Structure 1
Amino acid sequence: MASKLNLLSDADCRNATSQGKKIHKLHDGGGLLLWIYEDGRKFWRLRYWIASKEKSLSFGSYPQISLKKARIKRDEQRKVLDADLDPSAERKATNLRKKLANVNSFEAVAMEWYNKQLHTWVPHHASDVRRRLENNIFPTLGKRPIGEIQAPELLQTVRKIEARGAYDLAHRVLQVCGQVFRYGIATGRCTHDLSTDLRGALTPHKKQHQAAVRPEELPELLRAIAKYDETGDKQTRLALQLLAQTFVRTNELIGAEWGEFDLNNALWIIPAGRMKMKAEHVVPLSGQALTMLAELKEISGGSRFVFPGRNQDKPISNNTMLFALYRLGYKGKMTGHGFRAVASTILNETGFNPDVIERQLAHCERNEVRGAYNRAEYLPERKRMMQQWADYLDSIEAGAKVIPLYGQGS
């Protein structure tokens, strides 16, 4: 029972029942009411009038919202009414602002950008990008509206990465942030790419290129690989030789499956899902490469993989060829990726069409429209180049003085 002043007490609220009604209402003054339902639930509501129209606003349930807290909420909303504003409309506007803030947060914009890009990335790159954002940016800036972030905030966040000595990672994370800000500009969530303001603000880092022999050192390396059977296994020797022949990326070679090869037409068609830039790639096969594949077919023992590991259902590991190069004495001097670098250097120096070389290397095409190329682009020239490259490797391995590379004049 409420007091004489028509004010509720804690005991009134605690002991109140619906008194057999669907809803029983207890008044506390100033429009504050406690609604008691027949199932025992109790809720606070504020009754008020706007333009002679009765309205109400919920404050939550009792006892989660105590009598004292309910009165505080009532007094706050009475101030809104005194300003000739509708508390219900103001609450909706506040909720909308919060919702928009969440939609426009750096994390929301970043994940929207990420999902737009996802189909163009191979899984390991997608994982790297997401991890860099989640570990380094989201904890401090993720919930901030992207349009309100200032350059010093971004710098302070990225410098935490530098403090760990991860200078290269700091630059990579800043580069990703720049892409997010540019997407935010395009979608109207911010007006400026803050990463451009931080140029020169991070500690410079020296880019580490993967080791590769010089062109003049290639013949000795090829001869060492040819003798690998003396200390290692034939499959690894053939893997190194096929890598030199095709100069694909190491993971593209070790994941090769027999179903990707059109041996009748001397083509290896690597599906988009296994390529760095998510575009199908064609590798013309030289006569020498076809001979190697015939040997590998016998070794593979019915596995779907060209280079099966101990478990026939899985390929050899990424380290197999790297450790083989170590065993040959090339630790710190040559990597699997190094075959791409040395092939690019020699082919460019000997006059082959740079566009043909770049297409065969499957490098990223900066122009997205041009990048959506036909897989057969330059294919006749690429076939000639790959056969000439194979002949060149044979010749220098044998110690030939005259090097049969013909470039554009072939």
Structure 2
Amino acid sequence: MDVVNTTSQGSEGRTSKSDLTDTAIRNAKPGDKPRKLADKKGLFLLIHPNGSKYWRLKYRYGGKEKMLALGVYPDVGLREARDRRDEARKLLANGVDPGIVKKQSKQSIRESIENSFEAIAREWFAKYSTGWSSEHSEKTIRRLERDIFPWIGGRPIAEITAPELLTVVQRIENRGALETAHRALGSCGKVFRYAISTQRAVRDPSADLRGALPPFKSKHHASITDPKAIGELLRAIQGYKGSFVTRCALQLAPLLFIRPGELRRAEWCDFDLDACEWRIPALKMKMKAVHIVPLSKQSIYILKELHSFTGHGRYLFPSVRTPDRSLSENTVNAALRRLGYEKDQMTGHGFRSMASTILNEQGWNFDAIERQLAHSERNTVRAAYNYAEYLPERRKMMQHWADYLESLQIGASIIPKLLT
């Protein structure tokens, strides 16, 4: 390897080694072999045959000669290269190997990137979103990408403080999206707790922000809970003039009071009409736990009538256009509109509120009602095993509920709950 030293004539006529100049570096041409342009104190510019130029520092540590890369010219100019050389020499003067320091710095930067909030959030999302609905997955990641990552995504997750996180969610609140702010904060809390479980953080700063955002009152689905009005609704459903399959969906909605999506996607393979039971697999449920729906005599009657129409296929309520798909999500709501009920009066989801309100008023066990509604269970392991919890009481409650609705439909007096 050729070594070239620049020289100059001193005031006393001596020829001495000179510092490199920007002009000399710019004009330096590559050769057939790598060549060096030497500066002072171990610094030199290594010029490769392809014309690339690299700053290097030759030094000795622990009795061994070593080399330290200081950057690439022209990204790192002559002055900056000398500054980096001087910093390295200060470390050497203090007994520290600058090569080790640089290696540790690179490792620290790499760990910082790998342990950034965004990196861990995406890892958390990839692990848990497989069990979510596509709609929930899309909303969650979009919320993080739009409202969280631009502000703290690059920060090491272990260094993010509660005030820093609060500033981020308050930006969302200040644009009038309070519900989004609450949901974003909740997602952040899950990411922090995932980081703790994987030993990349020690605490969840979102826990310090309880009460920091104004409370948000979720909009409840429109529902009818007045007994007389319920009777009118049931009679209207009975007289529905549209598709027979849609009418059956309307009739079963108040009797079963499950989520509209779970009803319209119901499959015959999950029903045991002899056992009077609909057992919905965990993968088909919002909360990803098996759910048992006891079937009343009234429900069984409707299902048997429906089976003669759609029992040969997969779905109870197949799409008219494509039998391999279920009814669209708007079918029940559209049918209610056809019956004269506006969206601020009644929705398909409102049958759940109807049942919950009245069954609680009638004194049924709150926990049995919540279990039948398949509301979220805080302990997911417990939820996986407790799908049959309160089942005898739920069977009795579901038959009572069907009898109660039938009495309202025919205009009879309200049936009190049997306390025996």
Q: TM-score range by the shorter chain?
A: 0.7 to 0.9
8 Å CA contact retained: 1:122, 1:277: no
Question: 2:206 matched to 1:202?
Answer: no
Query: SS of the residue aligned with 1:14?
Result: coil
- The letter for the 2-side match of 1:15 is P
- Judged with a 3 Å threshold, the aligned counterparts in structure 2 of structure 1 residues 11 and 393 are, in CA distance, closer, same or farther, namely closer
Q: Which residue of 2 aligns with 1:308?
A: 318
CA distance in 2, matches of 1:68, 1:405: 89
Deviation at 1:259, TM superposition (A): 2.4
Which runs of 5 or more residues in structure 1 are unaligned? none
Do the aligned residues in 2 keep the contact of 1:256 with 1:305 (CA within 8 Å)?
A: yes
Identity of aligned residues (%): 50
Partner of 2:12: none
Structure 2 contact 30–51 (Cα < 8 Å) conserved: no
Residues 325, 334 of structure 1: 8 Å contact kept: yes
Q: Is the 8 A contact 2:268 2:311 kept in 1?
A: no
**1:180 pairs with 170, 181, 191, which one?**
191
Is 55-64 or 271-280 further displaced after alignment?
A: 55-64
How far apart in 2 are the matches of 1:259 and 1:391?
Answer: 27
| 1:315 CA drift (Å) | 1.6
Query: What is the identity, as a one-letter code, of the residue corresponding to 1:245?
Result: L
Q: Provide the residue aligned with 2:180 in structure 1.
A: 169
Residues 146-196 of structure 1: CA deviation (Å, up to 9, x unaligned): 333333332322222123221221122223323334444555545554334
Q: Is the CA contact (8 Å cut-off) linking 1:6 and 1:28 kept in structure 2? A: yes
Question: Do the aligned residues in 1 keep the contact of 2:18 with 2:39 (CA within 8 Å)?
Answer: yes
> In 2, distance between residues paired with 1:46 and 1:355?
73
Contact in 1 for aligned 2:332/2:348 (Cα 8 Å) = yes
Q: Output the CA distance in 2 between the equivalents of 1:404 and 1:201.
A: 44
For residues 131-151 of structure 1, give each alpha carbon's deviation from its aligned partner in whole angstroms, at most 9, with x where no partner exists. Answer: 222211111011112333333
Stretches of structure 2 that go unaligned for 5 or more consecutive residues are 8-16
Show the counterpart of 2:253: 243
Between stretches 120-129 and 357-366, larger displacement belongs to 120-129
**C-alpha separation between the residues in 2 aligned to 1:315 and 1:283?**
20
Q: Quote the Cα distance in structure 2 between the aligned partners of 1:253 and 1:63.
A: 67
| Change in 2 beyond 3 A, CA 1:14/1:271 | farther
Letter in 1 for 2:338: R
The structural deviation recorded for 1:313 is 2.4
Counterpart position of 2:302: 292
Which stretch shows the higher mean deviation, 87-96 or 287-296?
Answer: 287-296
1:400 pairs with one of 406, 409, 412: 412
Measured on the aligned residues, the alpha-carbon RMSD in Å equals 3.0
The 8 Å contact of residues 31 and 49 in structure 2, kept in 1 or not, is answered as no
2:355 corresponding residue in structure 1: 343
Q: Which residue in 2 is equivalent to 1:148?
A: 159
Aligned counterpart, 1:100: 111
- TM-score, normalising length: structure 2: 0.84
Q: CA deviation at 1:267?
A: 2.3
**1:133 pairs with 2:141:** no
Q: Secondary structure at the match of 1:363?
A: coil
Give 1:322's aligned residue. 333
Q: How many residues align?
A: 402
8 Å contact kept, 1:350–1:406 = no
Q: Could you tell me whether the CA contact under 8 Å between 1:224 and 1:328 is conserved in 2? A: yes
User: Match of 1:265?
Assistant: 275
TM-score normalised according to structure 1 size: 0.86
